[in-house]
Amino acid sequence: MEHRDAYSSSFGFTSLAGLSSRRRWYFISIITGIIFLSMTRQQHYIKFSFQSAPHISRVEESSYTKSEIPGTVTTGPDYDLIQKLPFQKIGCAAGGEYPILMQKNGMINWVCENEGERKVTLIMLYVFNKYASESNTLMLDIGANTGYYGLLAAKFGHKVIQFDLQPECLKILRNSVLANGFADQVITVASGVSDTYAIISVPETGCDGRFPASAHERGQLNFSTSATLRPLNDFLTMRENEAIILMKIDTEGNEKRVLVGSKGFFKAQKVLTAIVEVTPGANFWENNSITKEEVVETLQELVNYGYWIISLWDYSVHRTTESIAKYMESPTFIQTDFVITVDKDLRALIGNQDTLDPNQIKI
């Protein structure tokens, strides 16, 4: 009884009886309103807080990330965007064996139906499955857009850092992380990776899968919002026994700058496999003031670090600087993806052959 009186006094409830009827009604209305809002807010979160997948293994704490990553997004769900782009279950990887929840937009059809993206998915599934039983594994999704590949990595239990510049993409990324129950595994960063510190103008609305190439095509390069670009070592620090199992780079013509900004990690072979979208056509490099010679020199440097380069255009394998230079002299593709790897098992599938047989890749 004494405890109840002390509790009531501390919140002023004992003086409630002394209030006028009008003030008492006002006070009770406020309290009732607070309780109602609390209950409806809780229901609102329950509505969109999808259950965590119980099969996801807990991963150990690591030293991968710096104590404070610049631009980390920690906001809750954006319900207006969820209403605009509702969630749907995506199961196009490995015949639906690894379903994830994503918001409806054009990128879902692209990653599920495009032939090039299916080739990329096959390599990713191989890598994610290979390291699924190991703890403390990391995937980087640079140019994440709506985050399909990072979510797929998290589905296998890997830690993920996903980078993007566009505000609406970042909201979609964060929504999907929370909807799939990956908040403890996936870090979303409102920034990009480059060879130097820079600021880039980005559109306030929309999640354009071809930005910034599309902005160059429209001649619209100035927006009201901006984002930062930084070298990778601004975001990561790694111990001797740690590595990035997969780095995905999809930056619409800026791949050379991302690779140079990650050079230290490649030189130390901290990146076991990278999948890099390469676009010699459509003026992607020219619009970003990058020459083909600069791209070739960067690729040759990676070969000198011990990496093999596999072109997913024709599955050709390039182990020497001469080979990759010749391949890039007159490319027959406008855009494709390169697998850049020191992974021993993936290289063992190739052996001494000049091409990779994708039918040998088992998940």
DSSP readout, 80-93? HHHHHS-EEEE--G
Q: Over the Cα atoms of the chain, what is R_g? A: 25
Find the mean pLDDT for residues 294-308: 98
Task: Give the tokens for residue 173.
Answer: 């990324």
In CATH, the number for domain 72-360 is 3.40.50.150
Q: Is-contact 244 134, C-beta < 8 A? A: no
Cα separation, 78 vs 62, whole angstroms: 29
- Which residue in the block uniquely carries the two structure tokens 């596999």? 310
Residue 67 to residues 61, 265, 300: CA-CA distances in angstroms? Answer: 12, 19, 34
Q: For position 65, what pLDDT does the model report? A: 55
- The residue ranges of every structural domain in the chain are 16-48, 72-360
Does residue 26 register a pLDDT over 80? no
**What DSSP designation does 142 have?**
E
Rounded average pLDDT over 125-151: 95
Residue of 321, 331, 318 lying closest to 280 (CA atoms): 331
Alpha-carbon torsion (59, 63, 65, 68), positive or negative: positive
Q: Which two tokens stand for residue 251?
A: 């930056």
At 146-171, the pLDDT tens digits run 999 999 999 999 999 999 999 999 99
Q: What is the pTM of this model?
A: 0.81
Contact 271, 247 (CB under 8 A): yes
